[in-house]
Structure 1
């Protein structure tokens, strides 16, 4: 009887102790179970293991907490959203800001993720030091090339062996139908040759890195044809270019399947690799110029908009799978709807929901359209 009484008291005490666990301990246990469950599920990278890497654009902050767990579970490639751009990583001629970029590079290495570099030469976020002398005058072409080379040597050299591909030149084609190249300080000082030099310097700094030209609206016929013209010019001049990056900043309105396939065929005809480098699917019509939020303008994510977004994602990835021999990567621009650059551009404060994961890092219905496809009976490439 004494033994039974002792056992009963022990059981009661254990139950009481269990019920008195702190909320933080319970939360930690719950989080541990959720993390384990997330890690055990198939992610995008697994569904597309036989097709192409699935990447995501990140900041150092997104490599923490739930966001980091989602990245590990779903993706196998990273791109630095901002911290490798010249203005951030090289703000002054003799000063580099390596910390944020190193954080992303280290996370990629620790988690066995591929890493893309974005970007080396761009008309925005270039760092004013590269175009002007100490007394404020515009530098000459040769001085500009020396500064460009020093920048590329330093940045590409630092991540040699870690970054497998670079967006070397970004958005050099004009948006104006009657112009070929975009007006910029690069073009004003050096002419179109600056594009060739950038690729030459990048190749010298890391001969094993894949080198890409990257641009938006690359599916729209009039701009597509001018991008093709530039790529053909580079190839004809034996410039070391490996591929074209199509910035997939698209929407539920465009592009059409026909436009996408025609562009993929045109770029593939050059023998270049193709990557979708900045994929998101906006709920709004494309606008280039910034503007204020209009009174009464809604940013609600309605069931109708969700259905249209799902349909568009389904079409995009069906086409992507058809081009798996030419397509060497698809990268989403940001992790989830909790943060998107489209929340601030072109309309500051207008919430957008352009990704496959919602504000709580949960899979949206569009995720199912992308991930759950039949490997057989795929649409034949047209």
Structure 2
């Protein structure tokens, strides 16, 4: 790196610290970066670090700590459920905007960017939609128009207030599905064919020219065999490449980052390689739903430290791998935890055979875990020449 590049990078760092309103260090009061929030530390790198927000927990007057941390620890937020279709339009033609509007207002009040989640997904759809298709009262042509109207109405309502939209979520199958060859799956592919993906991005772009439009999926943190028949990351890579080649306005790919300590961990280099390949298509990337769950064995539930400590250490390593990879690739714009406390985690309700949990960076009493401390250390001790400010993504037209 040339000397002038080092100087420019240093100027960016100084300007960023100034923007955070950090009190200058003095002999009697040295600057302590460990007192800064995850969100503020990430902004040193131009990275937005956020969380999913549970609106029920946010509004629970008996649990004020949740709201306090959601408001102060993060620089970007995602609605865990209130922007999904079944929540927004439980009755056909009648939108319940209240909780989503409240969420967006919360983010604005706390100067946080918003990831919109989600416009098109085969799950958490309203019953009137799925039953109407099942009984034939909603035709294919009408279904396509319903989807277009929903995307247009939602994106238009929040135009200018959403930084990134998850336009299409989890459209690709898994190798353990039937058939095992990877394919487009779910309600929308079944009834509209795979062309709905391109349509969804075009409709979203027409409704908001400035929001960044993402495809979002799980199990795409690293490449496997390289064969799109059984390597989901390769399938999504080729899908994104094809969409870009056809002029579809996709701006980024979100990797959810739902990991588990019972599985083999990725290396940071494997994840960086995947991020770089997507960046090579001209796409931004993001980690959108990061958590690391562990099996809750009888010994764990009994409080046996011999069982608990290895899981906490493995979880910290998994979180750290994903964050370091994101820091290393300048087109990785955001890193979002899917909830931040075990008190309000989706994991125990979803993974119950065998039971799993311990998936977030704070425990049930809001005490920071080792994972939290390692994320903070990664943000503090990363810098030039291998960690540089982000490259902003321009919305595709």
TM range (shorter): 0.7 to 0.9
Structure-1 residue corresponding to 2:205: 203
- Does 2:193 correspond to 1:191? yes
- Does 2:375 correspond to 1:364? no
Structure 2 unmatched ranges of 5 or more: 1-33, 225-230, 389-397
Tell which deviates more after alignment, 203-212 or 301-310: 301-310
Note closer, same or farther for the CA distance 1:376–1:269 as it changes in structure 2 (3 Å cut).
Answer: closer
Note closer, same or farther for the CA distance 1:195–1:134 as it changes in structure 2 (3 Å cut).
Answer: closer
Structure 1 position 305, deviation (Å): 1.7
The secondary structure found in structure 1 opposite 2:359 is coil
TM-score (norm 1): 0.80
Question: What is the 5 A alignment of 1:338-357?
Answer: 338-347=343-352, 350=355, 352-357=357-362
C-alpha contact 2:78 2:114 (8 A) present in aligned 1: yes
Q: Determine the C-alpha separation between the residues in 1 that align with 2:196 and 2:299.
A: 43
Q: Determine the C-alpha separation between the residues in 2 that align with 1:330 and 1:272.
A: 16
Tell which deviates more after alignment, 50-59 or 179-188: 179-188
Structure-2 residue corresponding to 1:271: 282
Structure-2 residue corresponding to 1:315: 321
Question: What is the 5 A alignment of 1:241-260?
Answer: 241-252=250-261, 253=263, 254-260=265-271
TM-score (norm 2): 0.77
Max radius of gyration: which structure? 1
The secondary structure found in structure 1 opposite 2:344 is coil
- Does 2:382 correspond to 1:375? yes
Deviations 1:138-160 (A, max 9, x none): 63332122101111122111111
- Out of 317, 327, 333, the position equivalent to 1:328 is 333
Note closer, same or farther for the CA distance 1:313–1:129 as it changes in structure 2 (3 Å cut).
Answer: same
The secondary structure found in structure 1 opposite 2:350 is coil
Note closer, same or farther for the CA distance 1:297–1:234 as it changes in structure 2 (3 Å cut).
Answer: farther
Question: What is the 5 A alignment of 1:55-74?
Answer: 55-64=50-59, 65-74=64-73
RMSD of aligned alpha carbons: 2.5
Structure-1 residue corresponding to 2:220: 218
C-alpha contact 1:314 1:369 (8 A) present in aligned 2: yes
Structure 1 unmatched ranges of 5 or more: 1-39, 285-292
Note closer, same or farther for the CA distance 1:172–1:138 as it changes in structure 2 (3 Å cut).
Answer: farther
The secondary structure found in structure 1 opposite 2:201 is helix
Aligned length: 332
C-alpha contact 1:318 1:379 (8 A) present in aligned 2: no
Q: Determine the C-alpha separation between the residues in 2 that align with 1:368 and 1:267.
A: 29
C-alpha contact 2:253 2:286 (8 A) present in aligned 1: yes
Deviations 1:215-255 (A, max 9, x none): 00012521100111111111111111100010010123333
C-alpha contact 2:275 2:332 (8 A) present in aligned 1: no
Structure 1 position 136, deviation (Å): 2.5
Structure 1 position 362, deviation (Å): 1.9
